[in-house]
Structure 1
Amino acid sequence: MRAAIYNGPGDITVEEVPRPTIDAPTDAIVRVTHTAICGSDLWFYRGESDREAGSRVGHEPMGIVEEVGEAVTSVEPGDRVFAPFLISCGYCEFCRKGLHTSCVNGDSWGGENGGCQGEYIRATHADGTLVRVPDRHADDEDTLRSVLPLTDVLATGHHAAVSAGVGEGDTCIVVGDGAVGLCGVLAARRLGAERIVAMGHHEDRLSVAEQFGATETVAARGEEAVERATELTYGGANHVLECVGAASAMDTAIEVCRPGGTVGYVGVPHGVDEDGLDVFGLFRGNRTLRGGVAPVRAYAEELLADVLQGTLDPAPIFTKTVDLDGVPEGYRAMDERNAIKVLVTL
């Protein structure tokens, strides 16, 4: 099989690699038909996080089940499925409480599991991980394009909104105009927010935020952005979604959060250890910080239902489509901010 390989910062190639096989009764082999390049992939692509050279990449799979182990009961060959960015067993203490990202039997999609930016993957806990798309939607390309973000960014934006406590009639601020931030706007609207202020640096992305339900946007930087957002919300919002992960974005989120409010954070933290977290800002304003790695599997069914009935559509985040050979080009496009999110079709 062929798969995208990380060789070092700025260097992605597509190479022949061993195809995964059934190793355990709980395994399933999936032929990937759709996947994506994630903003979090840019951390290793830019050399800002560690990753082993020669490793397979990708964590947002959708495809057709090819083979299942004898213990698998939830899917069968021929089913259309998608999966979260982490594998989970579905039955341990943490899976039972909806915290699938802390699964004691969990696994990633790298290594011998295949890498999702490739032709085949092995789900080592198929029943706890794979989500079946109903047959009536299984070949509708427009619908599948809208379903794919459930593997990561849509559910991650939803986790930010849930963690921030967004509810009916609320005012919230979304920090970040990447795919997760835009999906955070969608999620806040779905949860009933009345006012949604989207903060970012790119006018084209902020126009997508408006399409998704943002009532106001802020394109300024630094303190000017903080002042504008707090002015729009008469002193800050009770519900703030931090969807970037950089230390500066976390500081902004805390600054625009109203005293007594909550910051829901889902951005993978980078630079926070070096630059420090504004704990005093949290303490002084009795602000709550909630969030972390999104338990995508816990949200899959409820979000899928809305996507399938047409009331939730994150597909506009895909602004470039490539085939497997085009994955290196897709990384370059996202790195250079020429694409919000790249869809890969196989």
Structure 2
Amino acid sequence: MPAKMRAAIFVEPGRIVLDEKPIPEIGPLDALIRITTTTICGTDIHIMKGEYPVEPGLTIGHEPVGVIEKLGSMVKGYEEGQRVIAGAIMPSGHSNASLYGFHSQCGAGTAHGWKALGGWRIGNTQDGAQADYLLVPDAMANLAPFPIWGHSIPILNGGTGF
């Protein structure tokens, strides 16, 4: 039996439950993130109200921060244990839309490579981040290192943050 995790699961409009689901399996281009912080987005509220349709059983949520638990065999530039952030839009990185910089319109798997809102996968067409773990598809296109607290990072006005 696969290991389980807690997840906020959409049941029907007006009903989201905290329940268990299997921890996702990763493929060679994916990463499994152990979620440490996430937010509730306005989209989650629209899903709860039934104003944006998603399939029953979907884990809601996006915009997470976490730690890489597992990496696919082909993922380069990241390492297990690294703190990362993942965006709400998770394009494939190789569709026509992605290659032209229109990541939210990623149509990987379509004949022409474009799909309205195709890049918004987590919490929409794929299980989202309101869970203990999140599968990040195409990890090299969809993760960014998260700054380590106590270290200076540049900010827009030329100063430093944190």
Q: TM-score under structure 1 normalisation?
A: 0.38
Is 2:42 the counterpart of 1:21? no
Question: Of 123, 141, 155, which residue of structure 2 is paired with 1:128?
Answer: 141
Per-residue CA deviation, residues 262-297 of structure 1 (Å, 9 max, x unaligned), is: xxxxxxxxxxxxxxxxxxxxxxxxxxxxxxxxxxxx
Larger Cα-atom Rg: 1
Per the alignment, residue 309 of structure 1 pairs with: 160
Per the alignment, residue 48 of structure 2 pairs with: 45
Per the alignment, residue 68 of structure 2 pairs with: 65
Cα RMSD after superposing both structures? 2.7
Partner of 1:35, secondary structure, is strand
Gaps of 5+ in 1: 144-303, 312-346
Question: Of 39, 46, 50, which residue of structure 2 is paired with 1:36?
Answer: 39
Question: Does the C-alpha gap of structure 1 residues 306 and 99 become closer, same or farther in structure 2, counting only changes over 3 Å?
Answer: farther
> Contact conserved, 2:32 with 2:69, CA < 8 A, in 1?
yes
Q: CA offset at residue 98 of structure 1?
A: 2.2
Question: Does the C-alpha gap of structure 1 residues 62 and 102 become closer, same or farther in structure 2, counting only changes over 3 Å?
Answer: same
- Matched length: 145
Partner of 1:45, secondary structure, is helix
> Contact conserved, 2:37 with 2:66, CA < 8 A, in 1?
yes
- Percent identical residues: 36
Question: Of 8, 13, 18, which residue of structure 2 is paired with 1:4?
Answer: 8
Partner of 1:29, secondary structure, is strand
Per-residue CA deviation, residues 290-330 of structure 1 (Å, 9 max, x unaligned), is: xxxxxxxxxxxxxx95389339xxxxxxxxxxxxxxxxxxx
For 2:83, the aligned partner's letter is R
Mapped to 2, the partners of 1:64 and 1:100 lie a distance apart of 24
Larger helix percent: 1
Larger strand percent: 2
Gaps of 5+ in 2: 109-118
For 2:121, the aligned partner's letter is S
Mapped to 2, the partners of 1:111 and 1:101 lie a distance apart of 12
Per-residue CA deviation, residues 110-144 of structure 1 (Å, 9 max, x unaligned), is: 4895420000011110001111124x33xx6xx9x
Question: Does the C-alpha gap of structure 1 residues 305 and 8 become closer, same or farther in structure 2, counting only changes over 3 Å?
Answer: farther
Mapped to 2, the partners of 1:112 and 1:17 lie a distance apart of 16
Mapped to 2, the partners of 1:89 and 1:48 lie a distance apart of 27
> Contact conserved, 1:19 with 1:114, CA < 8 A, in 2?
no
Relative contact order (alpha carbons < 8 A, sep ≥ 6): 1 or 2 greater?
2
Partner of 1:40, secondary structure, is helix
Q: TM-score under structure 2 normalisation?
A: 0.77
Mapped to 2, the partners of 1:109 and 1:92 lie a distance apart of 17
Question: Does the C-alpha gap of structure 1 residues 51 and 94 become closer, same or farther in structure 2, counting only changes over 3 Å?
Answer: closer
Mapped to 2, the partners of 1:46 and 1:81 lie a distance apart of 30
Q: Write out aligned runs for 1:328-339 (5 A).
A: none
For 1:306, the aligned partner's letter is I
Q: CA offset at residue 89 of structure 1?
A: 2.3
Per the alignment, residue 90 of structure 1 pairs with: 93
Question: Does the C-alpha gap of structure 1 residues 305 and 18 become closer, same or farther in structure 2, counting only changes over 3 Å?
Answer: farther
Partner of 1:16, secondary structure, is strand
> Contact conserved, 2:104 with 2:120, CA < 8 A, in 1?
no
> Contact conserved, 2:122 with 2:128, CA < 8 A, in 1?
yes
Q: Write out aligned runs for 1:104-183 (5 A).
A: 104-105=107-108, 106=119, 108-110=121-123, 114-134=127-147, 136-137=148-149
Mapped to 1, the partners of 2:103 and 2:55 lie a distance apart of 25
Mapped to 1, the partners of 2:139 and 2:146 lie a distance apart of 14
Q: CA offset at residue 39 of structure 1?
A: 0.9
Partner of 2:155, secondary structure, is helix
